[in-house]
Structure 1
C-alpha cells in the first residue's frame, strides 16, 4: 500500500524519518511523499530524511518557532490557524499514486497531540483517499498532563480519522533504558512493523503466493473511526551467505516450514502487539508472513490465518505472504482492526479524567473559571 505521510510534532517527525530509512534500506517503495509539520523550528531542522522543502513551520507568529510546550489546545489552534500552509504542502504530493494518508504523531505532547486531529479533519474534508492516524501513547510515568493530553487527543482523532493505529509506550518500555535510546528503539520498531505491512502490498519480485493488496489493508483497518493494533514476531533461519553475496536457499521438509510459520503468527498475535488487547475483542484481522520463498509454506500461512480466525472469533481475517530473498529471518505481522476494548485504554481514560478534575480544582482554587471542564467525563479538544 502506498501512502502519503504527514508527520506532526517532534515524535511524528522522528518516526517518519525512521520509516523513510526503512524504505530506503529495504529497497522498497511505499511512501509516495512525506511532509513534516511542527511549531518548533529546531525539531524540523533536526530531521534527516524528510525533504527540507516538505518541512512546514506553523504558529511562528505566536510561538516564534519555540514549540507548543505540551499545550495541546494551543497545538490545535496553531494547526487550525495555519492549515492553509499544511494543505499547500500536501497538495504538492502526487495523490494519484496514493492509496491512503498516514498522519503520525505522539499523543501526549503539544503540537502532535493537538495538531494531528486538525490535520486529519482537513485531509478527510478534501481528499477521497482514507486518512489513517498513527498515535503513540505516553508511558505511565510520563506525568498527568501527558496522560490527559493523550486521552483528549485520542478521543478527538478517532472522530476525524478513518482508523487510528496505536503504539503504547507503557507496554514496550525496557528496564534501565535511557530516554533517548528508548525513543530511538520505539521509532525503529514502529518503522519496521509499518514497513512490512506497507511493503507486502507492493511485492512483485519474488511473486507472492497470496498477494496482500492495499484494499485488504484498508478494509482491515476500517473506515469508521476504530482503533487498530499491530503485532510482529520473527524467527531466525539457518541460512548461510553464498560466495558472491546473498543467502543460499535451504531445503526443509514441509512440516518444519509449516510449524515455524504458524508458531511465528501466534507469537505476533499473542505477545507483541503495539496496543495489547484480547483477540476476542477485535472485529477484523490480517496476517502477513515474510521471509525467503522456500520458507513460506502456503499451508503454514493458511493455518496461521485459520488459527487467527478461530482466536478472534471473526470470519473477517485476511492473509498473505511477502517473499524476500535477502534475509535470514522469517517474520509474521498481524494487523488487528476494530479493537473494541483494552484494559490500557480504560486505564488511560480513568487517569485522564482524574487529571482533568485536578486541573479544574486548581483553577477553582485560583478563582478562575472552571466551566470548560466536564466533571462527568472527558472533554475532546474541539
Structure 2
C-alpha cells in the first residue's frame, strides 16, 4: 500500500523519521520518501536521519505566544496556531504526491499539546482535502506522563477517531521508552510493524506472492474505522539466494516431503499465534475486533501454504470473525520470517478505558479547583465588607480590636485556601472544558458511525 506520511509534533515527526529509516534498511518501498513533518516552535528541530530539510514544516514561528519551547503544554494554543497557519500547511502538502498514494497516515503523540491540539486540526483538514483514506497512528501516554497528558489524549481521541478512517493506537504504557530520545528502541519496533504491514503487496522485489494482496485488502480491513491494534512476531531463518526459476522448481518438488512441510507449517502457525498473543501496539480483547488481516513476510521457501491456512483458521476462531484477510510478502534475501496481524475496530480496550477515566478525574479535579477558588474569592469579599462596616464593639475599646484581628486571621486563611485551589487547578491542566468520552465503547462507536 503506497502511503504518504504526515508527522505532527516533535514525537510524531521522529516516529515518521524512524518509519522511513526502517523502510530503507529493509529494502521496502511503500512511501518512497513521500513524507512531511511539522512542528510548532520558534526554530526548526534537528536529529532527523531520513526526512530531508525541505520536507520539514515549522508552524507558529511568528506567533506571539509561541516560545522557544513551542506551546509549552497549551493544547488550545496548539490548535489555534494550526488553524491560523493552515495556508502554510496546505502549501507544504504540495510537495507530497498524495493523489498517487493509496492513503495518508498521520502520526502524532496524542498525549502532547501539539500532537493532540494541532493533530486534530490537521487531521480534519486532510480529510476535507483528499478522497484517499486517512489513517492516524496515535501514541497514547503512559501513566507516568500525568493526568494532563491523559486529558489531552482523551480529547484527541474524541475528535480524531470519528474523523479518520481508522486510528492505529500505540500505547506507551505497554511500550515504555523515552519518546524524546532520537534512538528509542520502542519507536523502532513500532516502525518495523508499520513497514511490514503496509509494504505488503508493493512490487519492491522480484518474488511472486502465492497469496497476493494489495492496498484494497488493507483498506477493506480498516474500513470499519474505530481503534486498530497491531501485533508482530519474527524468527531468524536462512535467506533464499536462489533465482526465481530455481525457487519455483523447489516449491513444486516439495509436494511429497510431508515431514518438512509439516515442520514449516507448524513454524508459520506458531509465528502468527505469537504475533496475536504477545505485545500488541495497544492491548485489547482480540475477539472484540470486527475484522483482521495477517501478513507473512520472509524468504519464499519459508512461506508454508499449509501453515498459512492453518494460521488463518486459528485466527478466525480467536478473533471470532470470518472477516480475516491474509497475504504473503516474499523477500528472498531476507534472513527473517515475520508475521504481522492487525485487528480492526476493537471495542474492548482496557487501556483506553483507563485513560478516559483518568481524563475525567483530571477534569473533575480542575473544575473542583475552580469552584474552590470561586468560593474563596466570595469569602474574601464577604470578609472585606464585614471589616469595612463600623463595629460598635470596636468603637468601645479592646473588644473591637480582638474582633478585627480574628477577621484578619480568617481572611488570611481564606487567601491561603484560594492559593491552594489555584495550585490544584494549575496541576489539573489549563485546557478549556471539552466534552470527554463518557463510556468505555464511545471511541469505537463514534468511529463506526
So what's the TM-score if we normalise by structure 2? 0.77
What's the CA shift for 1:40?
A: 2.3
How far apart are the structure 2 equivalents of 1:51 and 1:211?
33
Corresponding position of 2:222: 221
What residue ranges of structure 2 are gaps of 5+ in the alignment? 242-246, 375-421, 443-449
In 2 relative to 1, CA 120–340 (structure 1 residues): closer, same or farther, beyond 3 Å? same
Instruction: Render the CA deviation track for 1:329-374: whole Å, top value 9, x for unaligned.
Output: 2110001101112111111111110011111222333339999536
Conserved 8 A contact 1:196-1:333: yes
Q: Which moved more, 1:63-72 or 1:27-36?
A: 63-72
2:411 is matched with which residue?
A: none
- Of the three residues 156, 159, 175, the one matched with 1:156 is 159
Residues in 2 aligned to 1:183 and 1:70: alpha-carbon distance in whole angstroms: 23
The corresponding residue for 2:415 is none
Runs of 4+ with >6 A deviation: 248-252, 368-371
- 1:65 deviation in Å? 5.1
Maintained 8 Å contact 2:240/2:300? no
- The more displaced of 367-376 and 330-339 is 367-376
- The structure 2 residue matched to 1:286, chosen from 287, 290, 293, is 293
Secondary structure in 2 aligned to 1:92? coil
Instruction: Give the CA deviation at 1:96.
Output: 3.1
- Is the CA contact 1:2–1:30 (under 8 Å) kept in the aligned structure 2? yes
Describe the shift of the 1:178–1:228 C-alpha distance in structure 2 as closer, same or farther (beyond 3 A). Answer: closer
SS in 2 for 1:272: coil
Name the CA distance, whole Å, in 2 between partners of 1:375 and 1:64: 29
SS at match of 2:218: helix
Partner of 2:328: 321
Q: Distance in 1 between matches of 2:100 and 2:435?
A: 46
Larger radius of gyration: 2
Aligned partners of 1:105 and 1:30: how far apart in 2?
19
Contact 1:233–1:272, Cα closer than 8 Å, also in 2 = no
1:365 alignment counterpart: 372
CA distance in 1, matches of 2:431, 2:39: 30
Contact 1:69–1:109 at 8 Å: present in 2 too?
no
- Please say if 1:97 is aligned against 2:157: no
Distance 1:9 1:50 in 2: 14
Question: Is contact 1:302–1:319 with CA below 8 Å preserved after alignment?
Answer: no
Q: 1:119 aligns with which of 109, 117, 122?
A: 122
Equivalenced residues, count: 370
In structure 2, the partner of 1:48 is: 49
State whether residues 71 and 109 of structure 1, in contact with CA within 8 Å, keep that contact through their aligned partners in structure 2: no
Cross-structure match for 2:197: 197
Among candidates 339, 344, 356, match of residue 346 of structure 2: 339
- CA deviations over 1:222-279 (Å, ceiling 9, x no partner): 2x54110100011222x3798xxxxx99998101110000001011011121011111
The equivalent residue for 2:60 is: 59
**1 CA distance for matches of 2:320 and 2:40?**
44
What residue in structure 2 maps to residue 245 of structure 1? none
**Preserved CA contact (<8 Å) 1:117 1:161:** no
1:128/1:241 CA distance change after superposition, 3 Å: closer
- Contact persistence 1:287–1:320 (CA under 8 A): yes
Q: 2:168 aligns with which of 141, 160, 165?
A: 165
Which structure carries more helix by proportion? 2
- Aligned in 2, Cα 1:129/1:186: closer, same or farther, shift over 3 Å? same
Report the secondary structure of 1:50's partner residue.
coil
1:144 maps to which residue?
147
Aligned counterparts of 1:240 and 1:280: Cα–Cα separation in 2: 35
Q: CA RMSD in A?
A: 2.7
Alignment of 1:169-180 (within 5 A): 169-173=172-176
CA distance in 1, matches of 2:183, 2:141: 11
Question: What stretches of structure 1 of length at least 5 have no aligned partner?
Answer: 243-247
Indicate the residue corresponding to 1:305 in structure 2: 312
- CA deviations 1:20-58 (Å, max 9, x no partner) are 111111222211511111002555333232121121111
Shift in alpha-carbon separation, 1:107–1:217, aligned structure 2, 3 A? same
